[in-house]
Amino acid sequence: MSAAAPLPAVLLLGGGKMGGAMLAGWRERGLAPSVVVDPAAPALAGPGVQVVSTVAGVPAGFRPAAVVLAVKPQQAVAALPGLQALAPGAVVLSIMAGVTVARIGALLGAGAAVVRAMPNTPAAISRGISVAFRGAGVDEGQAALAEALLASVGEVAWVEDEGLMDAVTAVSGSGPAYVFLLAELMERAAVEQGLPPALARQLARATVAGSGALLAASAEEAAALRVAVTSPGGTTQAALGVLMADGAWPALVSRAVDAAARRSRELAG
């Protein structure tokens, strides 16, 4: 599928933050008349996009090329059965954390073509990254459409082992929260050092955002960039001596990512 080609009709289940961000990206690229199922998202309606409260409200005769599952996992049991009749031949793109291709297929019925993906919240500004796994029933055209839908809000990578999706969820899916926590803690520490709250907030946010932009623009490893800003015997080295001590950041980040990955596996159960 050409990167410049408009997108075909989509049935989006769930118009929350991630679903809404993806819809905005699709509209910007060019989207055929589509339908959103979400009783709490009437504001998403607009030219070419109809919002209905339930799957039963999807207009008769509407045949999307893709069904995107952006609902909470516990809502899937009620929402998914019957979708195959609405969208025969459609690729089903799920962004539900922890829900396996096999479980989605069991809810949809035999023959479902399912792609499981994990995007992240920078999709809201088209700077997200999504990792996807292609189920056995997905053909090349369906995989290309799934990638095009995900690419509308950022980078896309694929894995061949679905078991890796738990680690993906723990690193990139949950990862923005780790970065936001860093900004939050930097702001708090700045206030503790006597800086005015407004300036503390400005410094923390600009430093985290600017460092992320530098990392994105650089071909160097993150470790090399860290070393480049760390003068021997200087202030940065003093801080890193605390952050990189035994039991500090290196160990805590590993534990945190492991906890998130374990929770993702639990949700699959």
**Sheet with strand 113-118: strands edge to edge:** 49-52, 34-37, 10-13, 66-69, 91-94, 113-118, 128-134, 154-159
Phi, psi torsion values for 242, nearest 5 degrees? -80, -50
- pLDDT by residue for the chain (269 residues), tens only, comes to 444 578 999 999 999 999 999 999 999 999 999 999 999 999 999 999 999 998 889 998 999 999 999 998 877 777 777 677 777 789 999 999 888 999 888 888 878 899 999 999 999 999 999 999 999 989 999 999 999 999 999 999 999 999 999 999 999 999 999 999 999 999 999 999 999 999 999 999 999 999 999 999 999 999 999 999 999 999 999 999 999 999 999 999 999 999 999 998 888 76
pLDDT in tens, 183-226: 999 999 999 999 999 999 999 999 999 999 999 999 999 999 99
Fold designation for 175-268: ProC C-terminal domain-like fold (1.10.3730)
- Determine if the pTM surpasses 0.75: yes
**Of all helices (H) and strands (E), which one includes residue 239?**
helix 235-243
The yes or no reply on domain 10-165 and CATH 3.40.50.720 is: yes
**Of all helices (H) and strands (E), which one includes residue 132?**
strand 128-134
Domain with CATH 1.10.3730.10 in the chain: 175-268
pLDDT in tens, 8-24: 999 999 999 999 999 99
Domain with CATH 3.40.50.720 in the chain: 10-165
Q: Could you tell me if 60 and 73 are in contact, meaning their C-beta atoms sit under 8 angstroms apart?
A: no
